[in-house]
Amino acid sequence: MNIEEAKLRAHSLLRQAGLAELPRPVLAGILIIGLVLILAGIWQFWPRANADYVVATNQEQEAPDANVQQTAPTQAEIVIDIEGAVNAPGLYTLAADSRVGEAIEAAGGFASDAQPGATNLAQKLSDGEQIFVPTIEETQGATSAVSKAAMPSSKRDRKININTASAEELQELSGVGPALSGRIIDYRESKGRFSSIEDIKEVSGIGETRFENLKDKICV
């Protein structure tokens, strides 16, 4: 379309709209006003549309992926302390899901005087836990103490004569089992009567701490 055709088409449109007879300055003013309104509409719409696009883009970038599971780090190893009647007491590093049986195995297994039945081998371990494996004598002493607590007060309060008591009577004392009562009798038979209750400390297995627990319950 050339310039002349464009002019004719524009004139036709103005005539159809009833504006062809208006003076040229009026027509120019109408065109200017229309152009201003169009530009104003574009000006108002464009920043808002651009801002909405930016916000939507940022939200998409910041939104967490619902398919990604947030998992806490798991502890791979624990440190435990195993003491008592095992071959190698001490600190050991084990897998986090280890049990008492595995800790005892790491410590070289039960010692010859251990009481395995007093330990729950299936118990799960936790970090920083201490496991104590008692000896046969210690568990028997504990049983003796429980039995003694159930005795009548007259029998419970009497003192045991370490020079005349039988092995069974000696085992009524807290912490004294068959092995220790046998050593007391062996000492008595080989060395003679105890001159004082303090002499019992010469028996193997009776140190100062155990003597303090026994001294109020024995006599000569």
| pLDDT single digits (tens) 113-151 | 898 888 899 898 999 999 989 988 887 755 555 555 555
The residue among 95 and 37 whose pLDDT is bigger is 95
State whether 173 and 202 are in the same domain.
Answer: yes
Give residue 123's domain range.
77-134
Domain boundary among 87, 103, 134: 134
For residue 163, give both structure tokens: 């020079």
Q: Residue 195 above 90 pLDDT? A: yes
Over residues 104-109, the mean pLDDT reads 94
Closest CA relative to residue 135, chosen from 60, 205, 30, 50: 205
Q: Is 214 exposed, middle or buried (0-12, 13-18, 19+ CB in 10 A)?
A: buried
The residue among 43 and 79 whose pLDDT is bigger is 79
* pLDDT reported for residue 103: 94
Q: Residue 19 above 80 pLDDT? A: no
Secondary-structure percent of the chain, ordered helix, strand, coil, rounded to 5: 50, 15, 35
pLDDT over 90 percentage in the chain: 36
Phi, psi of 29 (to 5 degrees): -65, -40
Q: Is 63 exposed, middle or buried (0-12, 13-18, 19+ CB in 10 A)?
A: exposed
Question: What is the tally of structural domains in the chain?
Answer: 2
- The reply to whether 115 falls in a domain is yes
State whether 129 and 99 are in the same domain.
Answer: yes
State whether 176 and 214 are in the same domain.
Answer: yes
Distance CA 103, CA 215 (A): 37
> Cα–Cα–Cα angle for 141, 143, 145, nearest 5°?
70
The residue among 188 and 175 whose pLDDT is bigger is 188
- The reply to whether 3 falls in a domain is no
State whether 176 and 211 are in the same domain.
Answer: yes
State whether 215 and 158 are in the same domain.
Answer: yes
- The reply to whether 177 falls in a domain is yes
Domain boundary among 111, 134, 157: 134
Quote the mean pLDDT of the chain. Answer: 78
* pLDDT reported for residue 90: 92
